[in-house]
Structure 1
Amino acid sequence: MEKIHASKLLAGLVPAGKLTSDPEVELVTTDSREVKPGCIFVAFPGERFDGHDFAARALEQGAEYVVVNHPVPGVPEEKAILCPDSYHAMMVMGANYRSQYHPKMVGVTGSVGKTTTKQMTYAALSGFGETIKTEGNQNNELGMPRTLMRLESSTEYAVIEMGMSHAGEIDRLARAARPDVGIITCIGVSHIGNLGSQENICKAKLEICNGLPEGAPLVLNYDDPFLRKAVLPAHVRPVWFSLSDENADVCALSIRQETDGMSFVLEDQEHGTFVVNIPAMGRHNVANALAAYCAATRLGCDAKRVIHGLSNFEQTGRRQKVVDSEGVTVIEDCYNANPDSMKAALAMFKDFPCKRRFALLGDMLELGELSREAHEELGRLAAESGLYCLITYGEQAKRTAVVAAAKGVKTLHADSYREAADALLDRVQPGDAILVKASHGMALEKVLDIFYEEHKEAEV
């Protein structure tokens, strides 16, 4: 964060002229341990700690102002920025800070694939100038302002991921970030328990348009039926990508899964035809690469250099990360899961070259009333995916196991991380492959930690 006068940063939270001083601020933090002179401390009430308990101490340690939801003993009125919603305060400050800079910015949302698309867009753009991106899961009304506050005068490009669980959230994120290009990867069923239908999810994702300027490109999935029939605002310029339909602005043909990723022919009605190789598996990742390509080229970047950048893409966390464990290939994909991403992962795994295929699948969370149907459908998909053995973990995944077993798949349901790890350790052999996928809350990485440690010892 570069220095900014408090009056600019706090505009909209404090009436003009009401600040008793206008110092330069070089940090906004919600963590009392990070407080230092020249910062603003934002108090958040939490389940374990209440930031308001640290507000007075933050001033003692040199904070210029503290943002609080209510008056706090020991905090002078002239040092307190009263705001009933700390998230709103972060968003206002993030938007104010962002307005001081003019990078070319891409906003990424969608039900599935937005983090991978963000990573691919970053790879596509970073060769053209200094680029920042959303780190980790900082894609909400707390994390996104933090990302915006990493902008500097030297920043030429920024890739901002926008997540949501309720209507109106993307609207607020997009208006604060004001991207030059928007991407909607697809419309799935994540958070359908909150939004009620995929039509409502589509409307919520399209809120990204509220932050786009006149004539801005909006990159959309031509293969998604909800996006295809959506009524788009007149001020955006749709750029459609497809995995097969040559009527789209950009499409992928001759898609092949290789041992280390995907290869395909990219046809762009605007820039021509190119052969593309990406170090990521599955047709869904071809779609993500097309979205990133569309955004970068419609920002004016050279198509060949964009494609070169995509070839250097690096996945983050445990998202389809391929690990060799003593001759057994493990595909770590346990960062998140929903019906669409599970379907895509199993489709990829079905074509993965190996001796035998094992899958460890856990619960998909936040599906509301769709949960039972979705987990039973997952069992049917698993049965059609060429699995040698399916191991499940989680209360909802029991339904997956029951359906898969009824269709003839060797199945085992584990009641603990230890039991799941043992099921793999007892069965896998060199040449086999394991797909591990569940919602992040199921913490299947704990199974992998046990597996890797003991599998290595067993092979010594």
Structure 2
Amino acid sequence: MEKMSLAEIIQAVDGSFGFPADAMVSAISTDTRKITENSVFIALKGERFDGHDFAAKAMELGAAAVITERPVEGAKCIIVDSAAKALLDLASFYRGKFDIPLIGVTGSVGKTTTKDMIACVVSRRYKTLKTQGNLNNEIGLPQTLFGLDKGCEAAVIEMGMSHAGEISRLSMCACPTCAVITNIGVSHIENLGSQENILKAKLEILDGADYDAPLILCKDDKLLAAAEIHGERRVIYYSVKKKDCEVYASDIETGGSSVSFTVNYFGGSIGAVIHCLGEHNVKNALAAFCVGLELGIGPEEIVKGIADFRPEGMRQNLTVKNGVSFILDCYNAAPDSMKASLSVLSQIKTNGKRYAVLADMLELGKNSKQYHKTVGKYAAASKADMLLCFGGDSCYYIEGAVQSGFPEEKCLHFDDRQKIAEYLRSVLKEGDTVLLKGSRGMRLEEVVNALE
């Protein structure tokens, strides 16, 4: 972060104060464990904590001032109506100091992978800041923007949401110069009511975008393909199925742990490789290709950037232990991502059996049962040899799979992660492949940990 004067900060958050504002600030923090000398602490309120309780402590640790909603004894307080809004306002003010390309990425599924692929491409030419981990909400996104400095030449920022209006606030804060929406699924449909409402919420990414910022959409998604984009905004479509797009893939071939394909773009074509599996990841790569073209990066450099990408953490991470391949994809789950992971399980080449370990998909609302049954049908259509299910709603995976012809004797339901590990330990042989997929709250990674 570049230094800001305390006076600038007070003006940006429209705060009231009663002390000299001549200090220079070198960091913004919402966590007293990360307070540094001459920082400003923002006292956010959460379900389990109130930052005001730590305001005085922040001063003791070296903060120059604290942003609060009320006076706090022992602290130099900048009083605002809402500390949460102040965080966004301040990050927006700070972002405005940097005249750089900023790519905003959202979508129901695949936005993190797409963000990382885009960052790999953009980094081929520009020093690039990107969202780390899942810092894509109204606290994480501002903290990411505070990471901008004079050396940054571009940024790739992920925007997540669970309610209407959230992406609008994030977009107004980040001011994207290019926007990407990967797809419209059913994640958080419990809060938003319908996929149409999810589409509206995702399109809020344009609220803070430049009037001439291009919008990059996947035409394979029915809702995005039919979306009405107001004004004269330029829309760029990509696809793995439709050739009437600005960018589309052909000649898709899976080999080992990679996928090769041809990218067709504006009358040209070029070969590309991604070091991960699944058609959905080809789509993510196409989105990154579109961004690269928009930023004036040559196609040859773009495909090198795409090839640089490697999955991280618990997102379709492929590891091999004692000759058994584990596809760990435990960060989030929705019908579309479950289908994609089952597709990867089917595509991976193996001499052994394929085990699909599926846990509950959370936050799907009143239609959760039907969504789980639909995933069961996807499992039946895959090349899985065994279906192992964990969680209350996961029994509907089995119901859907059996209804679609999957042998019932090859379906098992578990109520304990340790029991899944014990079962796998007893049956796995060299050459087998295990997919572990479920919502983050189901903690399926503990199954793999128990096998070590």
- Structure 2 distance, partners of 1:121, 1:214, is 22
Deviation at 1:47, TM superposition (A): 4.2
CA–CA distance in structure 2, aligned partners of residues 18 and 69 of structure 1 = 14
CA distance in 2: counterparts of 1:330 and 1:262, whole angstroms: 18
- The answer to whether 1:113 aligns with 2:126 is no
**Match for residue 339 of structure 2?**
343
Give how far 1:48 is off: 4.1
Q: Does the 8 A contact of 2:16 with 2:80 survive in 1?
A: no
Pairing 1:31–2:31 present = yes
Aligned to 1:180: 177
CA drift at 1:405: 4.3
Q: Which residue of 2 aligns with 1:14?
A: 14
Q: What does 1:287-436 align with in structure 2 at a 5 Å threshold?
A: 287-354=283-350, 355-405=352-402, 407-409=406-408, 410-436=410-436
- Work out whether 1:64 is the aligned partner of 2:64: yes
1:211 aligns with 2:208: yes
Matched letter for residue 63 of structure 2: A
Q: Any idea what SS the aligned residue of 1:118 has?
A: helix
Distance 1:368 1:86 in 2: 31
Residue aligned with 1:422, SS: helix
Which residue, out of 277, 287, 291, partners 2:273? Answer: 277
- State the match for 2:263 in structure 1: 266
Q: Which amino acid aligns with 1:450?
A: A
Determine the C-alpha separation between the residues in 2 that align with 1:386 and 1:316: 25
Matched letter for residue 119 of structure 2: Y
Q: Is the 1:68–1:81 contact (alpha carbons within 8 Å) kept by the matching residues of 2?
A: yes
1:16 Cα deviation after fit = 9.0
Q: Using the alignment, how far apart are the partners of 1:202 and 1:46 within structure 2?
A: 28
Does the C-alpha gap of structure 1 residues 317 and 10 become closer, same or farther in structure 2, counting only changes over 3 Å? farther
Q: Tell whether 2:242 aligns with 1:245.
A: yes
Percent identical residues: 42
Residues 254 and 405 (structure 1), Cα distance of their counterparts in 2 relative to 1, 3 Å cut? same
Q: Output one character per residue of 1:385-433: Cα deviation in whole Å (capped at 9) or x when no partner.
A: 1211111111111221233345315011111111011121111111111
Change over 3 Å in CA distance of 1:15–1:33 after alignment to 2:
closer
Please give the TM-score of this superposition, normalised by the length of structure 1: 0.94
How far off is 1:149 after superposition? 0.4
TM-score w.r.t. the length of structure 2 is 0.96
Deviation at 1:10, TM superposition (A): 3.5
Q: Which runs of 5+ in 2 are unaligned?
A: none
Q: Is the 8 A contact 1:213 1:235 kept in 2?
A: no
Judge which range, 54-63 or 201-210, deviates more. 54-63
C-alpha separation between the residues in 1 aligned to 2:395 and 2:52? 43
Number of matched residues? Answer: 448
8 Å CA contact 2:16, 2:79 repeated in 1: no
Equivalent position SS for 1:203 = helix
Query: Which SS does the other structure have where 2:124 is aligned?
Result: helix
Superposition RMSD on alpha carbons, in Å?
A: 1.6
SS in 1 for 2:207: helix
Query: Contact conserved, 2:376 with 2:398, CA < 8 A, in 1?
Result: yes
